[in-house]
Amino acid sequence: MKVVTCLFILFFLVSGVSVLAQDDYKITDISDFLRTNDVKEIVKPFHAPPPVFYQYVPDEIVIKLKEDIKPTEIGIEAEPVVTGCNSLDELNKKFQVKLIRREFPDPPARAVTRQSEELRKYYIIKFGGQYDLKEVCKAYLSSDCIEKAELIGVHPLYDRFPNDPYFLSDQWNFYNDTDHDVDATLVWEHETGDTDVILAVLDSGVQYNSRDLGGLSPYTDGNMWINWTEYNGTGGVDDDGNGFVDDWIGWDFVNGASPCYSGEDCYTEDNEPTDFNGHGTHVSGIMGAITNNNYMVAGLAGGWNEGTSPANGVKIMALRIGWSAPDPIYGEVGYVRMDFAAQAIYYAVNHGATAINCSWGSSNTGGLGAAVNYATSHGVLVVAAAGNDGNSSPDYLGTRTDVINVCATDSTDVKPSWSDYGTWVDIAAPGVDILSTYSYHYNPLYIAWISGTSQAAPHVTGAAGILKSYADTLTADQIKSLLLDYTDYIDDLNPAYAGLMGSGRLNVFKALDAVEAPTVTVIQPNGGEVLYIGQIYTIMWDAADNVGIVATLIEYSVNSGADWTVIADLEGNPGSFDWTVTGPASDQCRVKVTCTDAVGLSGSDMSDDDFCPPYKAVARTFSVLSKHAMPVEFALNQNYPNPFNPRTEIDFSLSEDAEVTLEIYNLLGQKVRTLIESPLKKGEHTAVWDSRDNSGNSVASGIYFYKLTANQRVATRKMVLLK
């Protein structure tokens, strides 16, 4: 059904998108649906990326002031620029500086941290002439006011079935019969996305007036993130005080970008992050196109919209950092700037993003490294496309272990020749012929099939949105572990790249399934038991988990669970623990058992009701007898002598014939010696301990416990060995 003219115009380095000139493509209405909804389709064949026409912004750098230099000493917009630092002012004069401005505005009060204070020291300097910027950076580093001086890099933009008409026929990445997909249909049985989860798209913009993203006009009822304070505020006023005026649907950071494609917005930073070239709209649709709305395509975390309004998927935050540029060979290409990316990351973190998608090439310039540090320190997940050069060399984000780097697979789980690979890659995801929403020169009525790691990365970002929607307590590290640990193994399908495509191909259902926390049930003590301080008592519990329990924590409360004290921190799930009962005496005692699984999720249970450990025995349970008293009933006497060295006698009485065990334990609850393990007759009995363990070795001085068990009756006492 795809009727297209083959096109050979390259778009993004990382994504491999081809962009069409007006007379080079053919739009075909392929069905009644297309004719009714005026939807156009485009197929983008993959081609090798174009060379970068320049590497750095030609007339700007980023500086970071030293710790003792106050940001208020820097003039914001003045010519000539005077800062109050003599060495810096001399350099500004020498290089004809026209403008110095803060790179990162002050965050909202709730977001002020040590890291945000660090970012206050970053400034962008704009020069009035053309200079060798590497030499300029060296010169600025000689100033006693400057800690860093960076260039600004410019990089290419790299089973529940919805009723969306293209889903079954064309969105193989979400569902196909050979199961080389991310198992989206299984995921949607349990989670489809939540409106409280925000996924930031740092890209060429987002065509938010696409019906499959923004819904119907005024585009506030779709899956686009809305800054409601600004939307409901006063026009021309920074209502929320975040440094951005009227940023009701994100922000356009592109300012002074060059060269610029005819009709593209390259020169004004503003509140209109719309998408001229389509890349950001395509990425956004993979993550959050409105699903099951009987229109166009499905998104991985797009909600489930059976006639509902507003849409109920994750929210896509539109942050424009890229633009289209003309190219004599490729026609139209897309680029991003690292300072725009850094500022957008800062914005996304301060406005509650769960994850940030970066489908573009990168370098540690323009403040990007500091911004990524800011994101990861605030628990925000950063996902990056690996690249489309077909080699194993990472870009800057690829070198960072705190970023998830994603390579591409096709519909057979094989790495396409153009996808980058290497030990630095964390995970693979579908990236060949991916169908999603598209914008062609601001026209939202498009869908497109595009190949590239730019398309693989948003599968992972969307999966992060699914996991956060399902369990909002998950941290970024836990989400990362779930995504990377529960993949489908594909090394056998890619023997030449074994170990070089991350942990495997993304499987969102496996990751979601692993979110289940352990189930725990305390068996004993579970309420009503009467224990004795110093007695050795076996705490028992049942626990299960689908990914395995790695740790068990046992806690004790003497006030019905208002406060807890740790009594054991165990590896694995042993199911029982011999506890030496401790005080104080209380009739409101409970035990709590918490089990933690391999993903870091925990489940717990505590005693259903209170139990009681008094200081001494009560008559109805057993009587404490003197050495020569006649037995009244089951009883365990105090050893004699006590303290002792090296020998002591232990007397006890049985009210009936019984299977008897008499054992010695140390303070750690470890068994030292078994004195008796045999049947005994009713009456008085005496055992002797010579302060040796079961191996015949003399034990050290200290406190020991002796435990008598007879026909399910248990008694414990304390004794002291002094040498």
Provide the edge-to-edge strand list for the sheet that holds 536-544. Answer: 519-524, 536-544, 576-580
Q: What is the mean pLDDT of residues 289-309?
A: 88
Do 353 and 420 sit in the same domain of this protein? yes
Do 121 and 75 sit in the same domain of this protein? yes
DSSP per-residue letters across 593-624: EEEEETTS-EEEEE-SS-BB--SS--TTT---
DSSP per-residue letters across 55-73: SB-TTEEEEEE-TTS-GGG
Predicted pLDDT of residue 344: 97
Model confidence at 27, in pLDDT bands (50, 70, 90)?
Answer: very low
Do 373 and 404 sit in the same domain of this protein? yes
658 domain residue, yes or no: yes
Distance, CA of 216 to CA of 310 (rounded, Å): 10
Q: Which amino acid is at 69?
A: I
Pick the last residue of a domain from 467, 485, 513. Answer: 513
- Tracing tokens 């110093």 back to the chain, one arrives at 534
Distance, CA of 530 to CA of 611 (rounded, Å): 6
Predicted pLDDT of residue 614: 67
Nearest to 502, CA basis, from 396, 382, 408, 402 = 408
Residues 298 and 292: beta-carbon distance below 8 Å = yes
Pick the last residue of a domain from 480, 513, 546. Answer: 513
Predicted pLDDT of residue 553: 96
- Cβ neighbours around 147 below 10 Å, total: 14
Q: What is the mean pLDDT of residues 258-267?
A: 92
pLDDT exceeds cutoff 90 at 465: yes
Predicted pLDDT of residue 45: 57
Predicted pLDDT of residue 711: 87
DSSP per-residue letters across 515-558: TPPPEEEEEES-SS-B--TT-EEEEEEEEE-SS-EEEEEEEEES
20 domain residue, yes or no: no
pLDDT exceeds cutoff 90 at 406: yes
Model confidence at 7, in pLDDT bands (50, 70, 90)?
Answer: very low
Which tens digits make up the pLDDT trace of 221-240? 999 999 999 999 999 999 99
Residues 566 and 553: beta-carbon distance below 8 Å = yes
The two beta strands, 154-156 and 331-337, are antiparallel
Q: What is the mean pLDDT of residues 668-693?
A: 89
165 domain residue, yes or no: yes
447 domain residue, yes or no: no
Model confidence at 114, in pLDDT bands (50, 70, 90)?
Answer: confident
Q: What is the pTM of this model?
A: 0.71
Burial of 471 from C-beta contacts in 10 A (0-12 / 13-18 / 19+): middle
Structural domain boundaries enclosing 666: 635-721
Tell me the two tokens of residue 306. Answer: 């059976």
Q: Name every residue whose Cβ is closer than 8 Å to that of residue 221 and which is 6 or more positions away in sequence.
A: 214, 215, 309, 310, 311
DSSP per-residue letters across 319-356: EE-EEEEEETTTEEEEEEEHHHHHHHHHHHHHTT-SEE
| Domain of residue 659, CATH code | 2.60.40.4070
Q: Which of 109-123, 376-390, 569-583 has the lowest mean pLDDT?
A: 109-123
Which tens digits make up the pLDDT trace of 439-460? 989 988 888 888 999 999 999 9
Do 369 and 344 sit in the same domain of this protein? yes
28 domain residue, yes or no: no
Do 83 and 138 sit in the same domain of this protein? yes
18 domain residue, yes or no: no
Angle 404-406-409 from CA coordinates, rounded to 5°: 155
Report the percent of the chain where pLDDT is more than 70. Answer: 87
Predicted pLDDT of residue 50: 59
pLDDT exceeds cutoff 90 at 633: no
Model confidence at 39, in pLDDT bands (50, 70, 90)?
Answer: low
Provide the edge-to-edge strand list for the sheet that holds 702-710. Answer: 671-680, 658-665, 702-710, 713-721
Q: Which of 141-145, 174-178, 574-578 has the lowest mean pLDDT?
A: 174-178
Give the active site residues.
246, 279, 454
9 domain residue, yes or no: no
Do 141 and 168 sit in the same domain of this protein? no
Domain count, the chain: 4
Nearest to 518, CA basis, from 575, 590, 577 = 575
Do 144 and 237 sit in the same domain of this protein? no
Q: How many CA atoms lie within 13 A of 592 on its CB side?
A: 16
Do 160 and 301 sit in the same domain of this protein? yes
In which region does residue 222 sit, left (phi positive, over 0), alpha (psi from -120 to 50) or beta (all else)?
Answer: beta
Pick the last residue of a domain from 120, 150, 180. Answer: 150
Do 189 and 142 sit in the same domain of this protein? no
Q: What is the mean pLDDT of residues 178-190?
A: 85
| Domain of residue 580, CATH code | 2.60.40.10
What is the sign of the dihedral through the CA atoms of 439, 440, 444 and 445? negative
Do 576 and 545 sit in the same domain of this protein? yes
Nearest to 360, CA basis, from 45, 12, 10 = 12
Do 464 and 572 sit in the same domain of this protein? no
Q: Name which residue leads in pLDDT, 62 or 6.
A: 62
Predicted pLDDT of residue 302: 95
Predicted pLDDT of residue 598: 78
Residues 476 and 457: beta-carbon distance below 8 Å = no
7 domain residue, yes or no: no
Report the percent of the chain where pLDDT is more than 90. Answer: 50
Residues 553 and 520: beta-carbon distance below 8 Å = no
Model confidence at 493, in pLDDT bands (50, 70, 90)?
Answer: very high
Predicted pLDDT of residue 425: 98
DSSP per-residue letters across 139-202: HHHTSTTEEEEE--BEEE--------TTHHHH-TTT--TT--S--HHHHTTT----TT-EEEEE
Do 390 and 525 sit in the same domain of this protein? no
